[in-house]
């Protein structure tokens, strides 16, 4: 298969979040939004990963300083095309095509990007992009076709009334032939409402010169969700939590009422453990096998042994609880072993 590098666009502030914190650092199940995109890039085993940052770049770099990634600064937010252009110097000596991901799409699946990589390699594509169909596509760029052929991608703010009726949307996930990408990036102009350099204009130029364009369409539109506001943040958080609980339940854990239980990303729970409603489990927590966690209990950054009962209304924080222990109701346990 063709060699790839991954570029993640994470420079924007996220005005619609109405927050002093840059959008990609907002937490989802205990991890920054951007964590999930970087974790996806890690699983893809690409040659390297480049993170384009801008607003609050110091905070982003501090958060992810232990990751094996390179940082590129986009000091002026002039659009996705400009963001990619900033990476040319870093990538010029690497013989690899470029996967482009957005830092605010944490639900993307590894299998979907694998499919894109395989198709891109098979057809020696100049660009391979991801699409899906939405009943209400407002806010997303539309894929304009003539038959099966892609004519162009039009941003929502620049679309005509007819184009706004198209429900096939551009998910903002691409794989580009590296040489073609940087060649066409030098040709695009900010001739749009936003006065920005659109990466979609590179697709238009490839199509104009009859380049090879491939599209992978996902039936699971949820994985293409881009987070722009607090409401969507909460929806995506619930989806991530549901996915984690599903995997835990398949491995032998019982959540009596999953909808009324909260867990952070990465918690570990052993088989035959039963967790009542209104339990919160956060941080780096591991719970052993055959435990019973009663309602209205909170467990944070703790290690719980096997065959442990934690009665209702307990607060467990930074604790290590041995096997076969019963914690009475209304107990507070922290920074100690039981």
Nearest of 96, 90, 63 to residue 74 by alpha carbon? 90
Q: Is 20 exposed, middle or buried (0-12, 13-18, 19+ CB in 10 A)?
A: exposed
Encode pLDDT of 113-157 as tens digits. 999 999 999 999 999 999 999 988 888 889 988 887 787 888 888
Q: What is the pLDDT of residue 204?
A: 87
Q: Write the pLDDT tens digit of every residue in 36-95.
A: 999 999 999 899 999 999 999 999 999 999 999 999 999 888 999 999 999 999 999 999
Q: How many Å from the N-terminal Cα to the C-terminal Cα in the chain?
A: 53
As given in the structure block, the two tokens for residue 297 are 């209990």
**pLDDT above 60 (res 338):** no
Instruction: For residue 294, give Cα distances in angstroms to 1, 222, 239, 258, 307.
Output: 51, 33, 24, 14, 13
Residues 6 or more apart whose CB falls under 8 angstroms from that of 152 comprise 144, 200, 203, 204, 207
> What DSSP string runs through 160-214?
-HHHHT--EEEEEEEEE-HHHHHHHHTT----STT----THHHHHHHHHTT--EE
pLDDT (0 to 100) of residue 155: 83
Q: Map out the domains of the chain with their CATH numbers.
A: 4-224 (3.90.550.10), 251-334 (2.160.10.10)
What's the DSSP call for residue 324? T
- The pLDDT tens digits of the residues spanning 160-212 come to 898 899 999 999 999 999 999 999 999 998 877 778 898 989 998 998 888 99
Q: List the structure tokens of 61.
A: 């770099």
pLDDT over threshold 80, residue 336: no
Q: How, if at all, do strands 97-102 and 168-176 pair? A: antiparallel
Cβ(109)–Cβ(37) below 8 Å: no
pLDDT-derived band at 240, boundaries 50, 70, 90: very high
Cβ burial 108-129 (10 Å sphere, 16+ → b, else e): beeebbeebbeebbeeebbbbb
Q: What tokens does 23 get?
A: 């959008």
Task: Provide the 8-state DSSP code for 76.
Answer: S
> Is 183 in the active site?
no
* DSSP single-letter state for residue 225: P
Measured CA to CA, the distance from residue 126 to residue 136 in angstroms comes to 30
> Residue 298: what pLDDT?
98
Question: How would DSSP label each residue in 252-313?
Answer: T-EES-GGG-EE-TT-EE-TT-EE-TT-EEESS-EE-SS-EE-TT-EEES-EE-SS-EE-TT
Mean confidence (pLDDT) of the chain: 94
Q: Which of 16, 183, 230, 243 is catalytic?
A: 16
What pLDDT is stored for residue 237 in this prediction?
Answer: 97
Give mean pLDDT, residues 230-257. 97
d(Cα 218, Cα 220) in Å, to the nearest integer?
A: 5
CA distance linking residue 224 with residue 219, whole number of Å? 10
When pLDDT is averaged across residues 304-326 and rounded to a whole number, the result is 97
Q: Around 242, how many Cα atoms within 13 Å sit in the side-chain half-sphere?
A: 9
Task: Please report, rounded to a whole number, the percentage of residues in the chain having pLDDT higher than 90.
Answer: 82
Question: Quick check: 303 pLDDT over 90?
Answer: yes
Find out whether 22 and 13 touch, Cβ atoms under 8 Å: yes
């Amino acid at each position: 298969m063709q060699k790839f590098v991954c570029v993640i666009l994470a420079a924007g502030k996220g005005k619609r979040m109405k927050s002093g914190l840059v959008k990609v650092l907002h937490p989802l199940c205990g991890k920054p939004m951007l964590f999930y995109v970087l974790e996806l890039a890690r699983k893809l085993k690409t040659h390297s990963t480049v993170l384009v940052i801008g607003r609050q770049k110091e905070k982003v770099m501090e958060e992810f300083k232990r990751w094996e990634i390179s940082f590129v600064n986009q000091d002026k937010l002039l659009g996705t095309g400009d963001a990619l252009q900033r990476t040319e110097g870093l990538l010029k000596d690497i013989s690899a095509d470029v996967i482009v991901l957005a830092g605010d799409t944490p639900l993307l699946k590894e299998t979907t990007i694998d499919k894109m990589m395989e198709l891109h390699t098979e057809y020696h594509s100049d660009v391979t992009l991801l699409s899906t169909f939405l009943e209400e596509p407002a806010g997303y760029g539309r894929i304009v076709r003539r038959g099966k052929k892609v004519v162009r991608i039009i941003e929502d703010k620049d679309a005509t009334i007819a184009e706004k009726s198209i429900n096939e949307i551009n998910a903002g996930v691409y794989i580009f032939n590296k040489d073609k990408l940087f060649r066409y990036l030098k040709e695009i102009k900010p001739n749009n409402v936003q006065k920005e350099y659109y990466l979609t204009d590179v697709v238009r130029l490839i199509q104009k010169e009859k380049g090879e364009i491939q599209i992978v369409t996902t039936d699971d539109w949820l994985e293409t969700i881009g987070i722009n506001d607090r409401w969507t943040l909460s929806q995506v958080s619930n989806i991530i939590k549901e996915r984690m609980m599903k995997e835990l339940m398949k491995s032998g854990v019982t959540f009596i009422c999953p909808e009324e239980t909260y867990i952070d990303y990465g918690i570990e729970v052993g088989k035959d453990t039963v967790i009542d409603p209104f339990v919160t489990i956060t941080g780096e927590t591991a719970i052993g096998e055959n435990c019973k966690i009663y309602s209205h209990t909170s467990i944070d950054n703790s290690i719980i042994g096997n065959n442990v009962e934690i009665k209702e209304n307990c607060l467990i924080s930074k604790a290590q609880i041995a096997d076969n222990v019963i914690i009475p109701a209304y107990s507070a346990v922290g920074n100690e072993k039981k």
